[in-house]
Every structure is written in structure tokens, then in C-alpha cells.
Amino acid sequence: MKRILIITIPLFTLLAVVLTSCVQQKKEILPGQMASVTRGDLILSVSSDGNLDMPHEVRLKFGTPGTVKDIPAENYKGKLVKAGTLLAKLDDVTQLLNVEAAQYSVELALNNVLQLCCGTRYPTFYSLATALMRFEQAQIEIAEAKIFLLDKKYYDTASNISLAKYDLQAVRSVYADPKLDTLQTQYTDIQQKVDSFPEFKQIVILIDGTITEISVVQKLLSDGDYSSALQALDLLSTSLEEKHSIVNNNSRLPGAYTYPDTSTSLAISRQALDSIVELQRMLTQDDFDRVKVSEQLRMAEHDLLMANMVLDENETIYRAGLNPQSLRTYNINIETAMINLDKAKQELLKTEILAPFDGTVVAVDVKINDQLSQFDYASKTAVHLVDTKTIRMTGIIDEIDITKVEVGQEAILTVDALPGQKLNGKVTFVSPFGTLQSGVVNFPVEIYLDPVENVELRGGLTATADILVGKRENVLMVPNRAVKGLTGDYWVEVIIDPAKASIEKRPVTTGLQNKRSTEIVSGVKEGEKVLIEVVK
């Protein structure tokens, strides 16, 4: 009879053996199969392939027919020029004559009113009136140039400065006229000698200095030194203001083309009435201040004298033949002449080509003495300007990833022609409409690169962009090949003892995943070693 040996093993011991066999096991660890659980920033990106281009470019043309006189752009080919730089110029003799003719029309319109209002009480030399007007226009244009410069409208700044320079050159031509030497003595209608005109040569010197100051501002704009240009414009405005009084005094004009009217007299009379009412109130007081009463009386007397003077002048003018209807006609004539003058000056500007933005001159397609006719001036490119600092990548995104991409996301770009060089950019456009190619739907995207220094980029270069669509900071990560399992049931194999090749299968909760790493939310600790699959 055989004996059977029965060994009793406690239940908890049996369970421990079973659990140990499930959790820890020995497995051969080959070289390259071990990786660490690390902490850091995990970035999720979507890749896009495409090409670089320079969308900010313009083919500049003259705005009027004529003969090409100067092409400074020839000296700038392949070089960066600043907004407002003069690139090409036509012979502007015709346009200058048109400006002078328009200015003469303004002069005639003013003369009608000045002669009627002032008679022969003022010295009459109307070209001086023109000079004053042109000088004041230059002041306005410089003031506007300052505003444009503050708004970073460099093209408009340069245009206004050019107009101011033209106007001041016209002012100079008036005061440099030799005929002024014959006008050193003038007489009123009652043969009273008027003070002689001052030295006009001194005014010419002042205007020459101002024109030189304007040339300095133009040079600063061409160099892109906008801060210094703004300071120079401030000084120029102050200088013009100081010189204005000199030009105004030498123009011998009755003020600023204003006419006394009944409304002005009425307003002054009301002030006098208010003074009298206040005077009556003061006199009713027992202890009135005689000094204050005397001052109030002088104020009322002054206002009444002013009102009377305006009415007297007003009556003289209307007796000379001016009435509301004729005054309106004169004003309309003046306004019409001023509009035509402005048009003539704009036509003068069309003889110049100024750089509308900072850019590189890549081609000059005209030569000095080229004739631009009425038929081809608007179609013939004079200068091709490209903003080489504004670079865009146009690429495509697969339909699987397009929902992750949004405008404003950052991107890191690499260019095939510049290995190892990384460039930064930002997504500016994501097309809502895809195109089907070879059975795959792709969506166009546009990425504008951040400004770069010392990197030469060209339009057409092949580039790849990694668009950053997600980011986790300071998280635990393992290589993707360390994570096993199915959705909702992931684990990693933690190496317990590399020497004994023992591992532990441990469930983990995952987070964000990119092409290389997976975020581990729970299940492992930083520094632990995990087993990864070896790619054969």
C-alpha cells in the first residue's frame, strides 16, 4: 500500500507566490533596451512642407509720362533701402511750370479781394503774397510729415517733405528776383513814404538754410534713422516758425487774408456791453473800488473802439463794391485755385519714385533719357523692390492634423539650404478649404517668419515647419516604445534589477504624446528604468 504525503501550504503564501510570478519576471535585457523616466517639457507638433516666398514686393512705375532724368536705384541694386528713399526721377520742368501757373491763379484770385479790401493803402507786389502762401504751405506739409513719421507712414512722410522743399524753393525764387531791387521805396495813396523793404538777400540765405535742413531730413529717412529724422523735423518746425514772421513782415500783406465783418463787430460790442453792465453793478455799491471801476471803464471803452473800427472798415469795403454775393464769388475762386494748385503739386510728385517700404532693389528696368510715352508709362516697370525681411512659408497640412492647427501658433522652421539652422515663425493663415491630390486631402497654411539677422534667405527655398499645437511643462516622460497596451489599458515594464534581469509590469496613465515621447500622468517615478522595444 502506497503512502501519500500531503503538505499543507497556507493560502496567503500561495497567493504571494502567484502574484510574484505575475509582477516580477526575468527577461533578457539586450543593449539599448533600457531608458529612464525623465522630467521635462513635452511639445506636440504638426509638420508641414512647403516653400519660402517674399510676398511684400512691388514693381514701381512712374505716375506720368516724361523723360527719365535720374536713377539713384542703380546704386542700390542688391542693397537694402529705407522707405522714402528716392529711387528714380523724371524731368519735371513741365510739372514745375504747371505748379507755378496754378500758384499764379491763386495769386490772381487773392489780388481781387486784396485790391478791393485794401486799395492802395498797402504796397502792392503780389509775388510776395505768393511767397508767403507757399511758405505757410511748407509749414503745413512739415507738420503733416511729423504726424506721418510718428505713425510710421514713411512713404507719406517723404512725399510731404518733398512738397515742402518744392514750396520753399519757389519762395526762394521770389526773393532772389532782381526786380525786387526796384521796390526799395513805396508810397501810399497820399504820398507818404513807406519804410523800405528789408534786405531780401538775407531772406534768401534763411531759405537756403531751411532747404539744407530738409535735405538732411531726407538723408536721415533714406538711412532709416527715423528717431533722428523726427528730432530734425521738430527743429525744422521751430525754425520755420521763427522765419515765418520775417517772411510775413516782408510780404507787406494786410494780415492773413481776413476781412472785417459785422459779426466780429457784434461780438466785440457784446463784450463792451458786458463791461458796462458790470460797471453799473460796481457803482451801486457804497464802497466800490475806484481803481477797479476805472479799469472796467477802460475795458468797455477799448471794446467799443475796436467794434467801431471794424464797422468802419466794413463800411469802407462794402462802399468799394464788396457785397456778400461778390465775397462768396471771390472765396469760391480762391478755393478753386487752391484745389488746382494741390492737383498740380500732386502731378509734380508723380515725377518721382520713392520707396514705399524698406526693401531691396532687385531690378532697374529703365535708363537715363528713356522716353515714357502717354501709352506705356503706366505699364513699364522702373524699379522692382522686394521686402527681403518679410518672408512667408506656404505649406500644406494633412487632413488628419488640420484640426490641431490654428492661427497664431508658433512654428520652428528648417530650410534645406541651411542645414542645422532653426528659424521661428507664426501661423497667419489656415485654409478652410482642402484640395484632393493623389487621394489625400491637404489644407494650405501660411507661416510668416520672425525677422532674422545674418541669415540670407531667398524666395523659392524648400522648408519644413513644425507647428507647435500642444505643450506640457515639467511632466514625466518615457519613450513611445516603452508604452504597451491598448487604449485605456496601458502599461510599461519597469526594470527592478538590471543585473538579475527582473522586470515589473506596471499599469500607467498617459497624457500628451508626440513623435518621440509620451507623458506619464501616474504609475512611475522619475529616474526609474523602463524596458523599450528595440527597432530591428
First to last CA, the chain: 60
Partnered with residue 436 across adjacent β-strands are: 441
What is the chain's alpha carbon radius of gyration, rounded to the nearest angstrom? 42
* Structure letter (DSSP) for residue 75: G
Q: Which of 174-178, 335-339, 352-356 has the lowest mean pLDDT?
A: 174-178
Q: How far apart, in whole angstroms, are the C-alpha atoms of residue 76 and residue 234?
A: 29
CB 37 within 8 A of CB 526: yes
With left for phi above 0 and alpha for psi between -120 and 50, is residue 460 left, alpha or beta? left
pLDDT tier at 181 (50, 70, 90 boundaries)? low
Q: What is the pLDDT of residue 341?
A: 84
Q: Give the pLDDT score at 185.
A: 45
Q: Average pLDDT, stretch 2-17?
A: 43
Q: Which residues pair with 88 in a beta bridge?
A: 353
Which of the 8 DSSP states describes residue 438? T
Q: Kindly state the cell numbers that stand for 466.
A: 513644425
Least confident of 74-78, 156-160, 194-198: 194-198
**Rounded Cα gap, residues 515 and 236, in angstroms:** 61
Cβ(232)–Cβ(275) below 8 Å = no
How many angstroms separate the Cα of 475 from the Cα of each of 40, 412, 528?
5, 22, 14
Give 252 or 311, the one with higher predicted confidence: 311
Q: DSSP label at 196?
A: P
More confident call, 455 vs 319: 455
Residue 330, helix vs strand vs coil = helix
Domain 57-89+352-386, what architecture? Beta Barrel (2.40)
State the amino acid at position 437 in one-letter form: Q
pLDDT tens track for 402-454 = 888 999 999 999 898 888 888 999 999 999 998 888 888 999 999 999 887 77
Q: Which residue, chain included where needed, has cell 527577461? A: 27
Rounded CA separation 449/454 (Å): 14
Contacts of 95 (CB under 8 A, 6+ apart): 64, 344, 347, 348, 350, 351
339 CB-near residues (< 8 Å, 6+ apart): none
Residue of 5 and 390 predicted with greater confidence: 390
Give the residue carrying C-alpha cell 507647435. Answer: 468
CB 34 within 8 A of CB 532: yes
Q: How is domain 21-52+390-531 classified at the CATH fold level?
A: Elongation Factor Tu (Ef-tu); domain 3 (2.40.30)
252: pLDDT strictly greater than 50: no
Q: What is the DSSP string of 354-400?
A: E-SSSEEEEEE---TT-EE-TTTTTTS--EEEE-TT--EEEEEEETT
pLDDT at 275: 78
Q: Which three cell numbers stand for residue 163?
A: 512738397
List the single range of 243-257, 326-340, 486-500 with lowest mean pLDDT. 243-257
Report the distance separating Cα 458 and Cα 81, nearest Å: 17
For the whole model, what pTM was predicted?
A: 0.58
Q: How far is residue 74's CA from residue 296's CA, in Å, rounded to a whole number?
A: 73
> What is the predicted pLDDT for the residue at 254?
39
Query: Which three three-digit cell numbers place residue 121?
Result: 493803402
Third-level CATH fold of 123-251: Four Helix Bundle (Hemerythrin (Met), subunit A) (1.20.120)
Q: What is the pLDDT of residues 81-98, one digit of tens each?
A: 888 889 999 998 888 888
pLDDT of 367 > 50? The answer is yes
Q: What is the pLDDT of residue 322?
A: 65
Q: What are the start-end ranges of the E strands in 265-370?
A: 352-354, 359-364
Give the distance between the most distant pair of CA atoms in the chain: 168
C-alpha cell at 342: 494741390
Domain boundaries, the chain: 21-52+390-531, 57-89+352-386, 123-251, 262-321
Residue with cell 490654428: 406
Taking residues 273-291, report their average pLDDT.
78
